[in-house]
C-alpha cells in the first residue's frame, strides 16, 4: 500500500462540490463552465473517465496542458524516477536534468539567416510567471517602458500578465500600466475587416499616439487561444516585429497554447510567418500536466538581467524538467506534430461540413489541433450567439465530448485536444457535434 492510499478521498461529486463551495475562494467559483460540475478520476491518451466511470473524449486537453496524452507512461515514468531520486533542487545548486532540457529547448529555436543565433532559457513555474519575466526582460534590454499587446489576447492571471490581457473578463482592478492595445487581426470579425495591412498600420498609429514613441516590445500569441482561436494572417507577425523594432522594441511570441507542434505545420506557431522572435514564452504543453514554464530568449536579450537577482523557487525543478524532456522525446518518437497536422486537417474538414448543415455556425477556423467553431445569430450580421454556444456545449457533454467556450463573448467552441487524437476520434467528434447541434433544432 502506498502512503496515498492511507489518505481518505471522497470521490463523490456532491462531496467534492460541497468542499469546493465551502473552502475555495470566491475567485475560483466562476471557473466552472458546465451547468453540472464534473469530477474526473482517470485519463489516458485523449480520453478521460469521470468518477462514475463514464468515458469522454478530451478536446480541451485540460486547458491545453496535455500535449502528448493524459498520464503518458514515458512522461509519468521520467517524472516519477526523478521525484524518487531528488524531487527538487534549488537553482543555486547545479542539476543536469534542467540543464539538458534548456539545451533541448534552445535547439528547437530558429538559427537565423547566418546560423549563429544563440538562445538561452529561464525556467519558471507557470506561463504567467514566464510572461512577467519576459516583460521585465524586454524593459531591461530596451530601457523602454511601454509595451504593446493585442486586443482579445490572454496572457495569464498575475497582475502583470493581466495588464497585457485584452479581454475585460480576465482583467481585475490594480493592474500595472504602460500597455497600449492594438486591434487583433481577426479575419472573421476584426474591426478593420480581413487583410493584414490595416492591422500593421494600427501598430504604427498606436506607437505614435499611445506610447512615448519608443517601446519595449509587443506580445503576440501566435494563435490567440482564449480569444477563440484567432490566427495571425500571413505577414502579420513579421510585419509587427518590423514595426516594433523600428520603435526600439522586441517581438515576444507567446507560445503557451500554440507551441509544441500543436499547429501541425510547425513546432512553434511563429514559424508560420518566418518571424524570428527576440523572446519566446512557453508553458502548458511543455510539461504535459507537470507545472513548468520557460522564457527562451536570444542570448544578447537576456544578458542585462545578470545585473540583478531573479529567482523562481520552483523554476528548473528537476521533476517537472524530467517530464519536459520526456515530452520532447514523445513528440519526436510518436510524430505528434505530424499527427496534429493530419488529424487536425481531417477534423477541420468535418467541421466545415457541419457549417454547411447548421446555420448557427458562422465560422470554422484554426490549424493543426487548435480549432474552433464560432456561433452567430445571423450569418450576415455575424452577431455573436453565446446562448446557442452554451446549449451546444452542454449537449456535447451528452455526446461524451469535453471542449471549451471561448472568446470575449463566449460564442466560440475551442478544440485543443491532446496531440494524439486519432482519425477514429474525428468521426466520433464530428458525429457528437452534429448530434449536439441537431438536438437544439
Ligand atoms: C496564451 C497564454 N499565455 C499565458 C498563459 C498563462 O499561463 P499560466 O496559466 O500557466 O500562468 C496562458 C494560460 O492559459 C495562455 O493561454
Q: Over the stretch 132-167, which tens digit does the pLDDT of each residue have?
A: 999 999 999 999 999 999 999 999 999 999 999 999
- Pocket test of ligand 1: the residue of 60, 124, 128, 223 to mutate, having most ligand atoms within 8 Å of its CB, is 128
Residue ID of nearest Cα to ligand 1 atom 13: 156
Residues with CB under 6 A from ligand 1: 126-128, 131, 154-156, 221, 225-226, 254, 256-257, 283, 293
- Going from the Cα of 256 to the center of ligand 1, the distance in angstroms, rounded, reads 6
Three cell numbers written together for 177: 500600466
Distance CA 194, CA 198 (A): 9
- % of the chain beyond a pLDDT of 70: 98
Residue 321: predicted pLDDT = 98
Average pLDDT over residues 88-95: 95
Measured from the Cα of 255, ligand 1's closest atom is 1
Three cell numbers written together for 239: 510585419
- Going from the Cα of 25 to the center of ligand 1, the distance in angstroms, rounded, reads 20
Give pLDDT tens digits for 205-263. 999 999 999 999 999 999 999 999 999 999 999 999 999 999 999 999 999 999 999 99
| Exposure b/e, 364-395, CB count within 10 A at least 16 = b | bbbbbbbbbbbbbbeeeeeebbbebbbbbbbb
Q: Residue 26, exposed/middle/buried by CB under 10 A (0-12, 13-18, 19+)?
A: exposed
pLDDT at 34 over 90: no
Residue 417: predicted pLDDT = 98
When pLDDT is cut at 50, 70 and 90, the band that residue 441 belongs to is confident
pLDDT at 367 over 80: yes
Within 10 A of 182 (CB to CB), how many other CB atoms are there?
Answer: 25
For each of the domains in the chain, give its residue range(s) and CATH number, in order of start.
12-68+335-440 (3.90.1150.10), 78-333 (3.40.640.10)
- Going from the Cα of 190 to the center of ligand 1, the distance in angstroms, rounded, reads 23
Q: What is the mean pLDDT of the chain?
A: 96
- Going from the Cα of 357 to the center of ligand 1, the distance in angstroms, rounded, reads 34
Residue 31: predicted pLDDT = 66
pLDDT at 1 over 70: no
Residue 33: predicted pLDDT = 73
When pLDDT is cut at 50, 70 and 90, the band that residue 415 belongs to is very high
Amino acid at each position: 500500500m502506498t502512503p496515498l492510499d492511507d489518505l481518505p478521498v471522497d470521490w463523490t461529486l456532491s462531496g467534492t462540490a460541497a468542499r469546493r463551495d465551502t473552502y475555495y475562494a470566491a475567485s475560483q467559483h466562476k471557473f466552472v463552465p458546465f451547468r453540472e460540475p464534473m469530477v474526473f478520476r482517470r485519463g489516458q491518451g485523449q480520453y478521460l473517465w469521470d468518477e462514475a466511470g463514464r468515458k469522454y473524449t478530451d478536446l480541451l486537453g485540460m486547458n491545453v496542458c496535455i500535449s502528448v496524452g493524459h498520464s503518458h507512461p514515458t512522461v509519468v515514468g521520467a517524472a516519477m524516477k526523478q521525484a524518487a531520486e531528488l524531487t527538487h533542487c534549488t537553482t543555486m545548486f547545479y542539476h543536469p536534468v534542467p540543464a539538458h532540457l534548456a539545451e533541448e529547448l534552445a535547439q528547437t529555436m530558429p538559427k537565423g539567416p547566418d546560423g549563429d543565433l544563440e538562445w538561452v532559457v529561464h525556467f519558471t513555474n507557470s506561463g504567467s510567471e514566464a510572461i512577467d519575466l519576459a516583460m521585465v526582460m524586454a524593459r531591461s534590454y530596451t530601457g523602454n517602458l511601454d509595451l504593446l499587446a493585442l486586443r482579445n489576447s490572454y496572457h495569464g492571471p498575475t497582475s502583470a500578465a493581466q495588464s497585457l490581457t485584452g479581454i475585460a473578463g480576465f482583467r481585475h482592478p490594480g493592474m500595472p500600466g504602460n500597455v497600449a492595445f492594438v486591434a487583433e487581426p481577426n479575419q472573421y470579425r476584426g474591426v478593420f475587416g480581413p487583410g493584414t495591412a490595416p492591422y500593421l498600420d494600427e501598430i504604427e498609429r498606436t506607437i505614435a499616439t499611445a506610447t512615448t514613441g519608443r517601446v519595449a516590445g509587443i506580445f503576440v500569441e501566435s494563435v490567440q487561444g482564449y480569444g477563440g482561436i484567432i490566427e495571425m494572417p500571413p505577414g502579420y507577425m513579421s510585419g509587427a516585429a518590423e514595426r516594433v523594432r523600428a520603435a526600439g522594441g522586441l517581438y515576444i511570441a507567446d507560445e503557451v497554447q500554440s507551441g509544441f507542434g500543436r499547429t501541425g505545420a510547425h513546432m512553434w506557431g511563429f514559424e508560420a510567418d518566418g518571424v524570428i522572435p527576440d523572446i519566446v514564452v512557453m508553458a502548458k504543453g511543455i510539461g504535459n500536466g507537470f507545472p513548468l514554464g520557460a522564457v527562451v530568449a536570444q542570448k544578447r536579450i537576456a544578458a542585462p538581467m545578470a545585473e540583478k537577482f531573479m529567482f523562481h523557487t520552483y523554476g528548473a525543478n528537476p521533476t517537472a524538467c524530467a517530464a519536459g524532456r520526456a515530452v520532447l522525446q514523445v513528440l519526436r518518437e510518436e510524430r505528434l506534430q505530424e499527427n496534429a497536422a493530419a488529424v487536425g486537417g481531417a477534423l477541420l474538414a468535418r467541421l466545415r461540413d457541419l457549417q454547411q448543415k447548421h446555420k448557427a455556425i458562422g465560422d470554422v477556423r484554426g490549424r493543426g489541433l487548435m480549432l474552433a467553431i464560432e456561433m452567430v445569430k445571423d450569418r450576415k450580421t455575424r452577431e455573436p450567439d453565446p446562448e446557442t454556444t452554451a446549449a451546444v456545449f452542454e449537449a456535447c457533454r451528452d455526446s461524451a465530448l469535453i471542449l471549451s467556450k471561448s472568446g470575449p463573448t463566449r460564442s466560440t467552441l475551442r478544440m485543443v485536444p491532446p496531440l494524439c487524437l486519432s482519425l477514429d476520434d474525428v468521426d466520433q467528434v464530428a458525429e457528437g457535434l452534429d448530434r449536439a447541434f441537431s438536438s437544439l433544432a
